[in-house]
Structure 1
Amino acid sequence: MFFTTIDLSSRCNCSVFTRVMLPSKTPNRRLSDKPPPQLQLVSHAEPRPQLTDPDRPVNTEALYDCEHRFFTGCGIGKPHVEEARRAAAANGTTIEKELIARRLIQPELYYRWLADELGLDYVDHINPDEVVHLASTDVLLRRDGPLRLSRANGQVTAITPEAKRHEADAARLRARPALRRHLVVASPSTIRRAIWESGQEQRVRESTFRLDQDHCEHSARHVLTGMQGFVLALMLCLCIAAFLIWPLSALTVLHVVLTMLFSAGILLRLSALAMALRRPDTVRGGSDIETRMPIYTLLIPLYDEAAMAPALVARIDALRWPKSLLDVKYICEAGDEATIEALEAQDLGPECEIVRVPAFGPRTKPKALQYALRGARGSLIAVYDAEDKPAPGQLLEAWATFRAGDDQLGCLQAPLAVANLRSNWISGLFALEYSGLFRVLIPFLARTGMPIPLGGTSNHFKRAALENTGGWDPHNVTEDADLGLRLHAYGYRTGILKCATVESCPVQLDVWKRQRTRWLKGWAQTWLVAMRNPVATWSSLGPAAFVVFQLLIAGMLISALVHPLMYLFIAFSFAWIASGHASVVSDMHAVLLWMDAVNIFGNYLLFPATGWFAFTAYERSHLKRHWLLMIPAYWLLISLAGWRALTQLLANAHLWEKTPHDAESSAKTQQDPLPTCEAVPENQRPRQKIPMERVKGIEPSS
């Protein structure tokens, strides 16, 4: 193991020592014994060369040789430099970036020392008021470059020197020493922080309203259009009139419609279960192992999550992906100082950045994601929540799946597994529900090419697909379902992954109720947005996808709202028969009675059957059987949340009721041996095996 201690804080005329302790006992070296390294000078007169890939510099053997000489000349041990060179060649980066990513060099001290070697001033903070903010300035959030500053004594340019061209740049600097008055050195993180702060007001406005301005037909900023309000009011008046004039006929029509809706939903889930029984999933993976890995951006929105910060940072750090190609953004509300301070206390790596979202517009997760997307450096983007514990190999699997797919594969959904399923009956039934959704229904929808209501976390996107569809809607409180539908409407497909993300679900009834209310309210927003122009939605989705969308979104909403009515229909029918009037019960009403019974009890049987089928052996052993008796109560609670969502939709449509997370219980429950890469039962295992991944402390079922 190599241990490196680098002191780069001395002035350029002083000795700077680098100690590299290696098994071969590499001796100490004085940097002053070598010629002073010179770095690239970038000025407004000589812009940085255009790169073939905007996210990655062009690398040649000559540039690697320059970097190799530079860092070995600075006294960094040759094994370190050679290892960084191999990684740079594999990742398409530079030796400098690899050394910084491995934390062998501390960026702030390193760039301060480079400034001293060049005879330039170093700034560790840039006043955002000094930034000359142009239309293209935000590009510097995604890649390094010079930043122009306006000061009282004139304009200066903040640059980030690079080691790869220090010889040529040193000569240029000696030939034009007057440039030193117009240049300062700053680290990339200092420049990005200044840009985030300088343009935050305009940026947050654009992030909040761009979808509404550019594609108002996809925005939930307005709950109802004028035409929708008129049509819904007209339908309500007609229904009331029908019940007043023809009460029995109107009740019968309503009964038939609800019965058919319930039956269609059950048939959809039966089809998903049948396909899962007879057709195991196959694992897709790219075979071209020489393909360079892209930069992967992780967007992690947080609010009031100070207690979760230590565990979250450790879990993200455990992901298997080169740190030099990782772009981690912890997104916090600007006023959430507790969470920001907790993150800063974690000694974040150079790949991490804290993005502060200004207080403007609705305080929602999609607004935070849309804001941070402006600074995302990766061509692939993933979203995680504070309580998530993704399998270490999830990014690798997502990348391999994207490589194996075509251009229309725009999104991948990882399965979600509930860690605390044994806490109480609420968490146990929640785990059953998640298992049936993410391991049976969503794979069925993916294989049949239907629109998928995404989960709110562990979504992996191609950046191009995300931007082409407008990104997240800041005004929709279930941005996942909305974006999943929009991706399908734009011609993109959503695939599935095997590597799961483990998370904790609510165990308190009040917390569960608020979360479920937000979900149902967001689905109502999504349905209303899509049905502003039903003909256009039919055309963009296609007939089959349109019907499935109605069953998934409208069907779930209506079934939640009217679930108690099914009990009333059954009770009224049996009471009518018991009263001695059975002889006058028509055949149609008899059929409806039996269909009601089949729908109710079939749903109660299908709910646990689907989840139980997809459970692993560990999950089955920890779910208490008597909790299944609470399924009717669980559905009645969903109905309660549905009516609560309806009232909120009318009174406060954009209210985001946050789900609080208990760090202690989350850490405890996520040590259980839940599935990670193979979150499926034995008879669904893929025939082609992929490497088994393990979340620390969590053993996958096998």
Structure 2
Amino acid sequence: MQDSVITALEVLIMIGTALWAVQYFVSRRVHAYEKPTSVNMQVENLPKVSIVLPVYRERKQSIEKTLDSVSSQNYPKNLLEVLIVIDKDDVNTFNEALRAAGRFLSSLNIKVITNDNAGRRLKAIAMNTAMKHTSGLIIGFYDADDVFPNDQVLNAVLLMMERGYAAVGTRVYRYRDSVLGGLMYLESIIWYNAIVPFLRTTIKVTPLSGEGLFIRRDAVDFVPHSMAEDALLSFKLASRGYSIGLLDSYVYELAPLNITSFIRQRIRWNKGYAQNLVLLFRQGVQFNYALRVIMLYVFIVLPPALLVGSIIGFILVAYMAIITKAYTIAILYQLALAVIMSEMMVLYLMRDFIHESMNMGEAIVLLPIYWLLLGAVTITSPLVPINNWLKTTR
């Protein structure tokens, strides 16, 4: 019995390590992110673009930061409009948005829209309100505090025109000058440069993010109501046969202010993904696509679940070896060696990503703690009753 328990824990550790290794090697051999072959086009050939900025309880400086990136775009300004949408009862943000927009009225066509349907705070509701007022053939979505290159809008439009994509997303790197911010930055590098390319290549599903997201107006007239509306939108587009692209660009977004805000954000994401799965099956999708979506969920949830399971198992074995003497110290050493070897292998594979955000010494100490936190939040999220857009405090 004791041997079977230890073997089971070692198998969990090996499966988790193998999953990461497979994702890493697949992502290194594919080119998921693209750039348009055209670097310039005649102005008359470019469509009008509407940039939608849903804001809730935001500061003037945060709104200005995004507007500054929009204003710096090399896209023709006469073909660009910006719509800032605010809940009608969020009076402070409305005033902050007016003050922020005032700085850019000479360079941008800006509209401030109020969302009257603010009873249930979902970002998708605000997005749909703004879409009713858009005049662009392509709609782009950003959040407050977003910073992005000045060629992002042009390259996204050109890529959609060249490849016939209905939607295009990009990398979204979340960063803050703190320990938690550095870990979130590393996590976002891994997600967009390893996990997303793996999912796109193997199961042909591309989860999009709500920032740096561009959609053809004729492909969607309604953003599905969900706490993870970006993922559900990508599922809907793919299930209807639309093609989705990934632009080789990035958005820098300010990471959550503290660990409380971080946990609230993750709970919203996790609950949103679970909600999306229920909505997809209620509305009906083809069997082969349903299978692909289920595989996506398995690949996302399984690693943190395996991590938490193996750590809890290790703690129980340590307790039973040291306190109750049910296991020998040799068995504990054996299990500890498996855990350490697994961590070293994953850290070695991740070395290029780690070097972009922190030194290896910090990663060795901090990453296991962060992984455990992520795993714990992931598997406990279903127990948290929420139904609204939990604001991420930045």
Could you tell me how far apart the structure 2 residues matched to 1:599 and 1:547 are? 28
Q: CA deviation at 1:403?
A: 1.9
Could you tell me how far apart the structure 1 residues matched to 2:341 and 2:116 are? 49
Letter in 2 for 1:325: L
For residues 378-402 of structure 1, the C-alpha deviation after alignment (integer angstroms, 9 at most, x for no partner) is 1211110101001111111111211
Q: Answer yes or no: is 1:484 the counterpart of 2:229.
A: no
Q: CA deviation at 1:510?
A: 1.5
Q: CA deviation at 1:332?
A: 0.8
Match of 1:493 among 243, 250, 253: 243
Match of 1:550 among 270, 281, 297: 297
TM-score by length of 2: 0.82
* Structure 1 partner of 2:314: 570
* Structure 2 partner of 1:231: none
* Structure 1 partner of 2:352: 613
Partner SS for 2:81: strand
For residues 129-161 of structure 1, the C-alpha deviation after alignment (integer angstroms, 9 at most, x for no partner) is xxxxxxxxxxxxxxxxxxxxxxxxxxxxxxxxx
Match of 1:636 among 356, 363, 372: 372
* Structure 2 partner of 1:273: 24
Indicate if the aligned counterparts of 1:450 and 1:548 stay in contact, CA closer than 8 A.
no
Q: Identity, % of aligned pairs?
A: 20
Indicate if the aligned counterparts of 2:9 and 2:310 stay in contact, CA closer than 8 A.
no
Partner SS for 2:209: coil
* Structure 2 partner of 1:656: 389
Q: Answer yes or no: is 1:301 the counterpart of 2:37.
A: no
Match of 2:75 among 301, 316, 321: 321
* Structure 1 partner of 2:86: 332
For residues 196-249 of structure 1, the C-alpha deviation after alignment (integer angstroms, 9 at most, x for no partner) is xxxxxxxxxxxxxxxxxxxxxxxxxxxxxxxxxxxxxxxxxxxxxxxxxxxx9x
Q: Answer yes or no: is 1:354 the counterpart of 2:129.
A: no
Could you tell me how far apart the structure 2 residues matched to 1:282 and 1:512 are? 27
Q: Answer yes or no: is 1:502 the counterpart of 2:252.
A: yes
* Structure 2 partner of 1:517: 267
Indicate if the aligned counterparts of 1:296 and 1:327 stay in contact, CA closer than 8 A.
yes
* Structure 1 partner of 2:195: 441
Q: CA deviation at 1:357?
A: 0.3
Partner SS for 1:430: helix
Partner SS for 1:321: coil
Q: CA deviation at 1:331?
A: 1.0
Q: CA deviation at 1:418?
A: 3.5
Indicate if the aligned counterparts of 1:604 and 1:632 stay in contact, CA closer than 8 A.
no
Partner SS for 1:356: strand
Q: CA deviation at 1:613?
A: 2.2
Indicate if the aligned counterparts of 1:300 and 1:331 stay in contact, CA closer than 8 A.
yes
* Structure 2 partner of 1:418: 174
Indicate if the aligned counterparts of 1:295 and 1:326 stay in contact, CA closer than 8 A.
yes
Could you tell me how far apart the structure 2 residues matched to 1:547 and 1:603 are? 27
Question: Structure 2 unaligned runs (5+)?
Answer: none
Question: Cα 1:299–1:257, aligned 2, differ >3 Å: closer, same or farther?
Answer: farther
Q: CA deviation at 1:504?
A: 1.6
Could you tell me how far apart the structure 2 residues matched to 1:431 and 1:628 are? 16
Letter in 2 for 1:272: Q
Question: Cα 1:332–1:413, aligned 2, differ >3 Å: closer, same or farther?
Answer: same
Structure of higher CA gyration radius? 1
Q: CA deviation at 1:330?
A: 0.7
Give matches, 1:250-269, under 5 Å: 266-269=17-20
TM-score by length of 1: 0.48
Could you tell me how far apart the structure 1 residues matched to 2:15 and 2:240 are? 26
Q: CA deviation at 1:508?
A: 1.5
Match of 1:363 among 121, 136, 140: 121
* Structure 2 partner of 1:457: 211
Match of 2:41 among 274, 278, 289: 289
Could you tell me how far apart the structure 1 residues matched to 2:172 and 2:138 are? 20
Could you tell me how far apart the structure 2 residues matched to 1:581 and 1:504 are? 47
Partner SS for 2:263: helix
Q: Answer yes or no: is 1:526 the counterpart of 2:276.
A: yes
Aligned residues: 379
Give matches, 1:212-227, under 5 Å: none
Question: Cα 1:342–1:546, aligned 2, differ >3 Å: closer, same or farther?
Answer: closer
Question: Cα 1:655–1:381, aligned 2, differ >3 Å: closer, same or farther?
Answer: same
Could you tell me how far apart the structure 2 residues matched to 1:519 and 1:338 are? 26
Could you tell me how far apart the structure 2 residues matched to 1:259 and 1:473 are? 40
Letter in 2 for 1:613: D
For residues 354-397 of structure 1, the C-alpha deviation after alignment (integer angstroms, 9 at most, x for no partner) is 11001444111111112211222112111101010011111111
Question: Cα 1:263–1:655, aligned 2, differ >3 Å: closer, same or farther?
Answer: farther
Indicate if the aligned counterparts of 1:379 and 1:462 stay in contact, CA closer than 8 A.
yes
Q: CA deviation at 1:297?
A: 1.2
Match of 1:427 among 167, 171, 181: 181
Letter in 1 for 2:244: T
Could you tell me how far apart the structure 1 residues matched to 2:19 and 2:218 are? 32
Match of 1:539 among 264, 279, 287: 287
Q: CA deviation at 1:546?
A: 3.9
Question: Structure 1 unaligned runs (5+)?
Answer: 1-247, 662-702
* Structure 2 partner of 1:342: 96
Question: CA RMSD of the aligned region, Å?
Answer: 3.5
Could you tell me how far apart the structure 2 residues matched to 1:370 and 1:516 are? 23
Q: Answer yes or no: is 1:383 the counterpart of 2:131.
A: no
Indicate if the aligned counterparts of 2:33 and 2:246 stay in contact, CA closer than 8 A.
no
Could you tell me how far apart the structure 2 residues matched to 1:335 and 1:604 are? 51
Higher relative contact order (CA 8 A, sep 6+): 2
Could you tell me how far apart the structure 2 residues matched to 1:401 and 1:370 are? 24
Indicate if the aligned counterparts of 1:417 and 1:501 stay in contact, CA closer than 8 A.
yes
* Structure 2 partner of 1:393: 151
Could you tell me how far apart the structure 1 residues matched to 2:163 and 2:15 are? 32
Question: Cα 1:453–1:605, aligned 2, differ >3 Å: closer, same or farther?
Answer: farther
Match of 1:473 among 206, 209, 224: 224
Could you tell me how far apart the structure 2 residues matched to 1:494 and 1:531 are? 21
Letter in 2 for 1:602: S
Letter in 2 for 1:481: A
Letter in 1 for 2:188: Y
